[in-house]
Amino acid sequence: MDAVDGNAIAGELFEVFGSEMTMAVGTCAHCGASGMIAEQRVYMRAPGAVVRCSRCDGVTMVLVRVHGRARINLACFKLAPPYDHAPLADHQLTP
């Protein structure tokens, strides 16, 4: 199926991080490719969103909504400064 861009989850990410995140740069834990969240591939058909690296297709982030709150697992996407703080604790999903 067709992927969309990281722009598609900008609202959910804002909810988790409290700021605009599509321009935030991170590194894929699978292949080491570096890029902006906006440049990641996002698959919206799952119950939530699965985010994959645009180079190696490895899963970098998973976003789901639990009891009305957006939760994120970004164990495989290492955010570069100034975004390298963990997301707000109550939004974190255990890897």
| List of residues contacting other proteins (CB under 8 A) | 1-8, 10-11, 14-15, 17-20, 22-24, 36, 38, 44-45, 81-83, 85, 88
Residue 3 or 29 with smaller CB distance to other proteins: 3
* Distance in Å, CB of 53 to other proteins, minimum: 15
Asked if the bond preceding 82 is cis, omega within 30° of 0, the reply is yes
* Distance in Å, CB of 11 to other proteins, minimum: 4
Distances (CA, A) of 17 to 22, 23, 32, 40: 11, 13, 23, 17
Q: What gap in Å lies between CA 31 and CA 6, rounded to an integer?
A: 18
Beta bridge partners of 71: 64
* Distance in Å, CB of 70 to other proteins, minimum: 11
